[in-house]
Amino acid sequence: MPSKPCNVVVLLSGSGSNLQALIDSCHAQDSPVRIAAVVSNRADAYGLQRAQAAGIDTVVLDHTQFDGREAFDAALIARIDGFAPDLVVLAGFMRILSGGFVRHYEGRLLNIHPSLLPRYKGLHTHRRALEAGDAEHGCSVHFVTEELDGGPLVVQAVIPVLSDDTVESLAQRVHHQEHQIYPLAVHWFAQGRLRLGEQGALLDDKPLPASGHLIRP
């Protein structure tokens, strides 16, 4: 395991329950993860309060104050890089990132998405899974590439869709799984076990399957 802690910057726009799960997972004495800062494009994001309660630096960068995506992303990179991150974690950051931003953090940018990718990229994933009559649903952690919700998968949690599930009940169970698999993936990265290779994601130097590591709780 690397002796140096892994500096992580978390980007969010909302509640930050995934940030909270990550904060809680760092309490283990030998955790190599150090959350250096939380950056939000919205001043009212509850995730900022969670960060402050944990003594983590926060930054608000309001995208409406910038003249276009490129200008915002350039400012975002400058703020993030001020914390010298080894890893940047998207945790409900509701902005599409420019190609320049994604390339800048290639191999050190993770996202979590509430579906079993490649199914249901984009929004309203729980409703779409229910409407399609899927027997299974879940969530995915992946490296971010320029294809929206399309980068190499790291880990997926697969849960059954129950006959009486509603959008809300399904969302709640998927969210619970997000809180398990995101800290797991971040710790793998921080331990030096997870990396992005030429052909996709590698865990312990072995290629992960196209689905990522599958967890069926």
- Residues marked active site are found at 113
201-203 and 194-196 strand pairing? antiparallel
Contacting residue, 88, 112, 117, 184, with ligand GRF by CB under 6 A:
112
Q: Are 142 and 154 in contact (CB under 8 A)?
A: yes
Here's the x/- map for ligand GRF, 2-41, by CB under 6 A: it reads as ----------x-xxxxx-----------------------
Size of the site for ligand GRF (CB under 6 A): 14
Residue nearest to ligand GRF (CB): 92
Contacting residue, 114, 138, 152, 183, with ligand GRF by CB under 6 A:
114
Q: Which residues contact 107 (CB under 8 A, 6 or more apart)?
A: 143, 195, 196
Residues 72-91 that bind ligand GRF (CB under 6 A): 91
Q: Does 165 bind ligand GRF (CB under 6 A)?
A: no
Contacting residue, 104, 108, 113, 173, with ligand GRF by CB under 6 A:
113
Roughly what angle, to the nearest 10 degrees, separates helices 167-190 and 17-25?
40
Q: What share of the chain is helix, strand, coil (3-state, %, to 5)?
A: 30, 25, 40
Q: Are 136 and 215 in contact (CB under 8 A)?
A: no
Please identify, among the stretches 66-74, 110-118, 153-161, 208-216, the one whose residues bind ligand GRF according to the rule CB under 6 A.
110-118
The Cα–Cα gap between 2 and 6 comes to 9
Place of tokens 């703020």: 79
The distance of closest approach from Cβ of residue 21 to ligand GRF in the complex, given in angstroms and rounded to an integer, is 8
Question: In the complex with ligand GRF, which residue's Cβ is closer, 147 or 204?
Answer: 147
Amino acid at 106: E
Question: In the complex with ligand GRF, which residue's Cβ is closer, 16 or 151?
Answer: 16
Question: In the complex with ligand GRF, which residue's Cβ is closer, 100 or 122?
Answer: 122
The Cα–Cα gap between 102 and 73 comes to 10
The gap from C-alpha 64 to its chain's centroid, in whole angstroms, comes to 23
How many residues are present in the chain? 217
The distance of closest approach from Cβ of residue 142 to ligand GRF in the complex, given in angstroms and rounded to an integer, is 11
The distance of closest approach from Cβ of residue 13 to ligand GRF in the complex, given in angstroms and rounded to an integer, is 8
Q: What is the DSSP letter of 164?
A: T
Residues in touch with ligand GRF (CB under 6 A)? 12, 14-18, 91-92, 112-114, 139, 175, 178
